[in-house]
Structure 1
Amino acid sequence: MWNRLFNKKSSVQRKILVSFLGLIIFPLGLFSYASMSVSKETIRKKEISSSLKTLELIADKLNIMASDLTAISNLYFANSSLYDLLKPPQGLGIYEENAKKDFLIKTMINYKYAYTWMDYNTTLFGKNGFELHTYYEGRKIGLDSIKNEPWYAEVVKANSGIVWVSDPSPKLIPTVDDDHFVSAVRILKDFESGTMLGIFLISVSESFLYKQYGNAVQDYEQVLLIDDKGIVISAPDKKMIGQAISSFGERTNKLADESGHFTTKVNKRNMLITYDSVGKTGWKIIAYTPLKELYADIGKIERLTILLFLSVLAISILVSYFIARRLSIPIQRLFTSMKKVEMGNLSERSDVTGEDEIGELARKFNRMVSRIEDLRDRVSAEQEMKRKTEFRALQSQINTHFLYNTLASIRSMLMIDPPEKVDAIIVALVRLLKKTLTEKGEFIPIAEEMDNLRNYIRIQEARQHEHLRVVFEVDEQIMHLKTLKLLLQPIVENAIFHGIEPKPTPGTVLIQGELSDNKVWFRIRDDGVGYSGFPPSDTELDITELVLEQSAGMGLRNIRDRIRLHYGAGGELSVISRSEGGTDVVLSIPAIMDPEELKL
């Protein structure tokens, strides 16, 4: 495409327009692209920073919750009344046991009111069958029913340390009043013997966890809370709870650091992932931000930028076209003038004006054409003068040669022929000279050339007596066409003097003329001895150049020079030696009725 728009044959206007547009579009497009890239990266960094700060605040809040739950757990862990209830049945009486149980229930309620910002529930299981829940008074669940849970062995192994467990057991759901919850679990031991007395759980519902972060994120963001095993423990979509984070296409090795961010595809959508850690629990809170929504404002900026770009481009094209046209029109006008001069119109002058380089070029062009026109006229005049001078020289040479031969013939006739015959020959000579030596012009009708040739042949027949016979076979349709004066007489003269006269027997000269392919063809054929130095051959030979190099070919050289002078490449002359003897001189010239046709 570029080659079509900007190649060697392109107009100047197109080249200027393409150059201007290239200088405008490329920097403008590069600037727009760089601006959009910088804006995207800036928004991305700001979103990452903002998201990480939000997650850090949520993590701090969850750490506070974990600390408070740990503190509550410690209160229970240090309560001696609790241990009295968990000891074997023989430790207390029925009355005393109920009294301590009521006291423990009141204590649990008081602890709960002490941390009113948290919505938590307490569960206590004793190996002696004692069981107590904050707000649950239904059927006993029993410690044995939860011993088979996978986290139980981990809690026992922790040796009174807190273990965070998500959804410890479906059987505990009635004690929390929620489908999903997390619990801080620890065992209770006898301080004196170290014997395990029971297990203690402080649970918070998933809905309470969600409240800690649900209002802190954007509508288009999704936040997940996962435990140290990569299991979702809280999410806006409750169906995701309990599933492994890896099932969403996320690898846990990407979440190895305390906090960070990365970009990935989730359900074929490009997402920005930011995360932070809840140090007290080992949890991680993860925020998913769709890049499409993140760059929503960028989309508006992009559309505005594209609109501005197209507007500037349209204006640039109009301005560039106007400038290119203003610059190229003078050049096109000057080019048109040059084409006219190239076609031969030297009267053309450029009308381009101005004080710039193009105006100066136009003025120099006009001066150059004027000088060329003057030189043409001068050369034309000189050529015309030279042509006339050459023609007079050729004519003088032809006439001198012709008169010499003719007068020699008359001198011979005076000795042997009667005066009447000599007088007739002299009359024929006078008529011939009268027509050939006038300044009438270089071109005459072929009919007149034939009359001149017949007068010349009368003289030669009188001189040769019965030794010469001349036959004319000239087509009448060429008689009105024009030819050069004295074009055929030197050829016939050569045929007589160099072909027939040296022949011991009578000879014949055949003069033919016809029209073919818009050319006039003349053939002068003799059956004489031919030119000296050319032995007989079994085939016809073109001996034109060899004859013209001999002194005997001077008349033919003059004919050829005159043909070239007036007809250029349109005229031809050839000399052919025939196998049966004799010579043919073939001449072709353009078929014209007016010499002016040769200038077209």
Structure 2
Amino acid sequence: MEYEMFIKKSSLQQKMLISFLCLIVIPLGVFGYISLSISKQTIEEQTITSNLKTLGLISEKLDIMASDLTAISNIYFSNEDLRKILMQPSVEKTYEERAKKEFLTKMIINFKYAYTWLEYYTSILGLNGFELHTFYDGRVEIDELKKEDWYQEAFRQNGSIIWVSDPSPKLARTVSEEHFVSAVRVLKDFESGAPLGLLMINVNESFLFQQYAEAMKDYDQLMLLDANGTIISTTQKSLLHQNIKDTKYYNQAKNGDRGSFKDEIDGKRMLVTYHNVKNTGWSIIAYTPFDKLFANIYRAELLIIIVFVIVLFLSILVSYFIANRLSVPIKRLYRSMQKVEMGDLSERTDVLGTDEIGELGRKFNRMVSRIEQLHDRVVAEQEMKRRSELQALQSQINTHFLYNTLASIRYMLLTQTAEKVDSVIVALVKLLKRTLTDENEYISVGEEIDNLRNYVYIQKARQDGKLEVEFQIDDRITHAQTLKLLLQPIVENAIFHGIEPKEGTGCISVKGWEEQESLMFEITDNGVGITKLETGGAADITEAILSRGSGMGLRNVNHRIVLHFGEEYGLKVFSQEGEGTKVILKLPKFVKTEELISL
């Protein structure tokens, strides 16, 4: 609703400016938004593809490592000399025992150099108390490890390899680092199947980190987790050996062999990709922050925003210039139309260009010129019509009236005093002078009443005492202006059609007052009333009396009032047969004719 009101009330220049901006700014903004969205989606898809490929290569390296370690464990597992050593009771510090250890140590070292790319440490823990470690001469005591969960699990697997991260602090001295991963399997007697001891091949966390270190530049963080959700290698070393199996993103990463999803980690939006290692049950999880992923896009967004602001500013300037060039001539033409609307027909617009607006300006000037000519013609015709109406009204004091008046004067010469006769002649002269010679259309209410008094004086002389007329005029309205000869025709109708047919003396009342900025006149007689009208007995017979042919005098008066002052003014006629007639006139109140313009 407010938008519709704005569109309706806004100027043409504003509408054009808004239209230009919508045609330029909105498409540019939509294009920029769509382009950035497509770019983000493309980068995200490419990153997921690249990450999964990288994680796949890391997984392959870890699978190869697990396969090689399994191969090494198989050599130990099937070595007959080792089986014999583990089956005999261990005797410390004997020549034979030392010879066996030397032999096995050489074998361990030879195996180690056979797989030069691997960095691992071997520990053999016999149930007979025999121990042998790659680079450690001390003892761990296998009995101290029997309480560990992984120890029990290794014996339950009955020779299969299990992968354990940081199996025991007691084994930390057999390797060179604090955190490591161990491939553990039980060594058995092939003939009886009885367990003889444990084989542990340990890999340090630093070696695991080397398998994916080169790929770390593409990620914020990469973690290697075992099958239980424990972190066995990561860039953030403080997270090592922490268990995250209860986290949402870990559980989501366990769905399928590989994939990606979005999540919020430590308050940052992350693109998470994962890949599972087949031979070990481990999982590789990599986090790529979106702010790093879309760093170039964000810079492009900033650049686009700057360009958008510049284009918007230039668009506003250009649009304003174009809209101004188009709307200014229309505004000038509009102002010229307003002046013509206010009545200034001399106005001519100076919008005379060679385009459609210029042609519109020329046609406007021709139209106003034509209207001015027609206006002058109408004014002249109205003036002629006004004079004709005035002459017609003045002719109402016709020869019959003059004949009767002169006959009455002749009769009065024989019956009345010279002063009485003279007064009637003076009244007749004044009436004829003001009505027949004065061509002014407007006179004061006081002058109109004086004319009416002269007319009534003559008529009372003719009626010889049969007529009485009362005047009740408010002195506060005598200075107001009104049309000439409005009251005299009404009083004349009252005398000739109401009083003369009546037996006995008749009385006419003439009242005048102000009511709500209007002049009100009431002429009432107690004559015979208006007869032979089909009014259904209604007292208001205005419409009937103004429409019939014999009501010429009243119809002329009403027509003049409406013509000069409008439809809200005029007269009303009320009459009942045998009870008299009342005519009410409503006129505007004005002192100077200039005040009529505001009416």
TM-score (norm 1): 0.85
Q: Take 1:445 and 1:142, find their aligned partners in 2: how far apart are those partners?
A: 139
Correspondence 1:104-143 to 2 at 5 A: 104-138=104-138, 140-143=139-142
Give the aligned residue type for 1:559. V
Correspondence 1:246-261 to 2 at 5 A: 246-252=245-251, 254-261=253-260
Give the CA deviation at 1:205: 1.8
Residues 482 and 328 of structure 1: CA distance in aligned 2, closer, same or farther (over 3 Å) = closer
Give the CA deviation at 1:272: 1.6
Residues 555 and 259 of structure 1: CA distance in aligned 2, closer, same or farther (over 3 Å) = closer
Aligned equivalent of 2:554:
556
Deviations 1:412-460 (A, max 9, x none): 668x647968974567645543443326444455565555545544543
Whether the 8 Å contact between 1:410 and 1:422 is mirrored in structure 2 is no
Correspondence 1:130-279 to 2 at 5 A: 130-138=130-138, 140-218=139-217, 221-252=220-251, 254-279=253-278
Whether the 8 Å contact between 2:219 and 2:286 is mirrored in structure 1 is no
Deviations 1:359-408 (A, max 9, x none): 22222222222222222221222222122223222322442442244355
Aligned equivalent of 1:537:
none
Aligned equivalent of 1:87:
87
Q: Take 1:329 and 1:15, find their aligned partners in 2: how far apart are those partners?
A: 13
SS, match of residue 129 in structure 1: coil
Residues 211 and 387 of structure 1: CA distance in aligned 2, closer, same or farther (over 3 Å) = same
SS, match of residue 204 in structure 1: strand
Aligned equivalent of 1:573:
571
Whether the 8 Å contact between 2:529 and 2:578 is mirrored in structure 1 is no
Give the CA deviation at 1:552: 6.8
Aligned equivalent of 1:352:
351
Deviations 1:304-358 (A, max 9, x none): 2222222212221222222222222222222222222222222222221222222
Query: Gaps (5+ residues) in structure 2?
Result: none
Give the aligned residue type for 2:319. S
Whether the 8 Å contact between 1:6 and 1:14 is mirrored in structure 2 is no
Residues 444 and 405 of structure 1: CA distance in aligned 2, closer, same or farther (over 3 Å) = farther
Aligned equivalent of 1:76:
76
SS, match of residue 246 in structure 2: helix
Residues 5 and 83 of structure 1: CA distance in aligned 2, closer, same or farther (over 3 Å) = farther
Q: Take 1:385 and 1:584, find their aligned partners in 2: how far apart are those partners?
A: 33
Residues 191 and 405 of structure 1: CA distance in aligned 2, closer, same or farther (over 3 Å) = same
Whether the 8 Å contact between 1:262 and 1:273 is mirrored in structure 2 is yes
Whether the 8 Å contact between 2:336 and 2:347 is mirrored in structure 1 is yes
Q: Take 2:107 and 2:547, find their aligned partners in 1: how far apart are those partners?
A: 148
Deviates more, 1:176-185 or 1:1-10: 1-10
Whether the 8 Å contact between 1:54 and 1:217 is mirrored in structure 2 is no
Q: Take 1:89 and 1:183, find their aligned partners in 2: how far apart are those partners?
A: 27
Give the aligned residue type for 1:258. D
Give the CA deviation at 1:506: 4.2
Whether the 8 Å contact between 2:218 and 2:288 is mirrored in structure 1 is no
Residues 5 and 321 of structure 1: CA distance in aligned 2, closer, same or farther (over 3 Å) = farther
Residues 189 and 431 of structure 1: CA distance in aligned 2, closer, same or farther (over 3 Å) = closer
Give the aligned residue type for 1:146. L
Q: Take 2:460 and 2:92, find their aligned partners in 1: how far apart are those partners?
A: 180
Residues 504 and 421 of structure 1: CA distance in aligned 2, closer, same or farther (over 3 Å) = farther
SS, match of residue 218 in structure 1: helix
Aligned equivalent of 2:49:
49
Residues 65 and 417 of structure 1: CA distance in aligned 2, closer, same or farther (over 3 Å) = same
Give the aligned residue type for 1:57. L
Q: Take 1:313 and 1:256, find their aligned partners in 2: how far apart are those partners?
A: 49
Whether the 8 Å contact between 1:572 and 1:587 is mirrored in structure 2 is yes
Q: Take 1:531 and 1:162, find their aligned partners in 2: how far apart are those partners?
A: 134
Aligned equivalent of 1:17:
17
Give the CA deviation at 1:526: 4.7
Give the aligned residue type for 2:119. D
Aligned equivalent of 1:311:
310
Give the CA deviation at 1:269: 3.0
Deviates more, 1:217-226 or 1:423-432: 423-432
Q: Take 2:467 and 2:345, find their aligned partners in 1: how far apart are those partners?
A: 56
Whether the 8 Å contact between 1:5 and 1:18 is mirrored in structure 2 is no
Residues 76 and 384 of structure 1: CA distance in aligned 2, closer, same or farther (over 3 Å) = same
Give the CA deviation at 1:69: 2.4
SS, match of residue 250 in structure 1: helix
Deviates more, 1:115-124 or 1:510-519: 510-519
Residues 91 and 385 of structure 1: CA distance in aligned 2, closer, same or farther (over 3 Å) = same
Whether the 8 Å contact between 1:5 and 1:15 is mirrored in structure 2 is no
Kindly, what percent of the aligned residue pairs are identical?
55
Residues 402 and 288 of structure 1: CA distance in aligned 2, closer, same or farther (over 3 Å) = same
TM-score (norm 2): 0.85
Whether the 8 Å contact between 2:499 and 2:528 is mirrored in structure 1 is yes
SS, match of residue 9 in structure 2: coil
SS, match of residue 212 in structure 2: helix
Aligned equivalent of 2:338:
339
Q: Take 1:507 and 1:193, find their aligned partners in 2: how far apart are those partners?
A: 160
SS, match of residue 437 in structure 1: helix
Residues 524 and 136 of structure 1: CA distance in aligned 2, closer, same or farther (over 3 Å) = closer
Q: Take 2:54 and 2:546, find their aligned partners in 1: how far apart are those partners?
A: 113
Deviates more, 1:118-127 or 1:460-469: 460-469
Residues 467 and 88 of structure 1: CA distance in aligned 2, closer, same or farther (over 3 Å) = closer
Query: Gaps (5+ residues) in structure 1?
Result: 535-539
Q: Take 1:398 and 1:329, find their aligned partners in 2: how far apart are those partners?
A: 62
Give the CA deviation at 1:41: 1.9
SS, match of residue 211 in structure 2: helix
Q: Take 1:262 and 1:570, find their aligned partners in 2: how far apart are those partners?
A: 82
Give the CA deviation at 1:567: 4.3
Residues 395 and 87 of structure 1: CA distance in aligned 2, closer, same or farther (over 3 Å) = same
Give the aligned residue type for 2:310. S
Whether the 8 Å contact between 1:223 and 1:286 is mirrored in structure 2 is yes
Q: Take 1:531 and 1:472, find their aligned partners in 2: how far apart are those partners?
A: 23
Give the aligned residue type for 2:271. L
